[in-house]
Amino acid sequence: MKNVKSFIVAIMAIIMFIGFSFGGFIAKASAASTVSGKITIAGSTALLPLTQQAAKEFKKENPKVTVSVSGSSSIAGPQSVVKGAATIGACDWDATKPVQGFSAFSGLVAHKIAVIPFATIVHKSNPVQNLTTKQLQDIYAGTITNWKQVGGKDAQIVVVNRKHGSGTRVNFQAKALKNANFMSKGDNYKEVGKSGEMLAAVESNPNAIGYTDLAYVKGNVKAVSYNGVAATTQNVVNGKYPVWSYGYLLTKGQPKGADAEFIKFIQSSKFQNGSLKNLKFVPVSQMK
């Protein structure tokens, strides 16, 4: 009889534990499902892998929210918000302040969400492992035109640049080229509109050089070192690698409703130290 009573007590304890756990799950799901609305994100393609992943995870926790994410260029982020075409603009600089020929956007609020490391990229078959500031300046100015001039094979360098309005271009020119000018034309020069197009252009040409953020360094491209320092998230954090910027989400005034909850989600410790780091971005909290 004593054993039977002990068994019954144990079963009741298990049932109560399951009940409390299930109840907590239901309560949590119910709380999450109260967030509703439509979020439209436009802008930076450097931040696109991040905003897409955040949207996927946010939507899973908040099934009543519709999230649309697109990417074209950083300048399109604040422009889309001002025009009302998007509720959130993604940009590789704080567009509430002027930067390299772009005026500040009044009426917008900038929300810092990530650190974006940028890298010079070449085809994996290219033997060049490192480029200095001066070498990059000369390559992008059209002064250095052959890979053998920087320790590579005897082949013409195909220079791939991002189009005006790109946040990656703004930051690469400022941080890697120290504001030196780009060439504007040439048989060995081409411009692309998006980060994905930059990746495709370098991936398909063994003699090409370009630049992008670390999230796109994959496939048949590799990042070369800058002044002897590897382009890694760790080197950004320890202050050795200078080619990086903060990424921002921009809203018209202070965000409300689903927009506010999404920004809060992407800034959360869980996302910052999880998916954000996995995508080769750096959590904002890690920078001194």
For the domain spanning 36-115+244-286, the CATH number is 3.40.190.10
Listed residue (287, 276, 286) closest to 49, CA to CA: 276
Structure tokens at 88: 């959130």
> In a 3-state reduction of DSSP, which class is residue 231?
coil
Listed residue (241, 166, 254) closest to 210, CA to CA: 166
The predicted structure's pLDDT at residue 33: 57
The predicted structure's pLDDT at residue 8: 41
Which pLDDT tens digit goes with each residue over 216-233? Answer: 999 999 999 999 999 999
Amino acid, res. 236: V
Residues 6+ apart with CB under 8 A from 62: 32, 33, 35, 36, 258, 261
pLDDT at 40 over 80: yes
Residue with tokens 């220079």: 159
Average pLDDT over residues 211-216: 98
> CB count, 10 Å around CB of 54?
27
The predicted structure's pLDDT at residue 101: 87
Which pLDDT tens digit goes with each residue over 186-207? Answer: 999 999 999 999 999 999 999 9
Average pLDDT over residues 66-81: 98
Average pLDDT over residues 154-177: 98
Which pLDDT tens digit goes with each residue over 224-282? Answer: 999 999 999 999 999 999 999 999 999 999 999 999 999 999 999 999 999 999 999 99
Percent of the chain with pLDDT over 70: 89
Average pLDDT over residues 96-119: 97
* Average pLDDT of the chain, as a whole number: 91
pLDDT at 79 over 70: yes
> In a 3-state reduction of DSSP, which class is residue 234?
helix
Residue with tokens 């756990």: 21
> 111 — phi, psi (to 5°)?
-120, 115
Average pLDDT over residues 112-128: 98
In this chain, the answer to whether the domains covering 36-115+244-286 and 117-237 adopt an identical fold is yes
CA distance linking residue 241 with residue 133, whole number of Å: 12
Q: Indicate the pTM of the whole model.
A: 0.88
Average pLDDT over residues 120-124: 98
The predicted structure's pLDDT at residue 288: 78
Percent of the chain with pLDDT over 90: 87
pLDDT band for position 110 (cuts 50, 70, 90): very high
Structure tokens at 18: 């399951």
The ranges assigned to domains in the chain are 36-115+244-286, 117-237
The predicted structure's pLDDT at residue 30: 42
What number of CA atoms fall less than 13 Å from residue 229's CA on the CB side? 18
Domain formed by 117-237, architecture: 3-Layer(aba) Sandwich (3.40)
Structure tokens at 229: 């320092």
pLDDT at 22 over 50: no
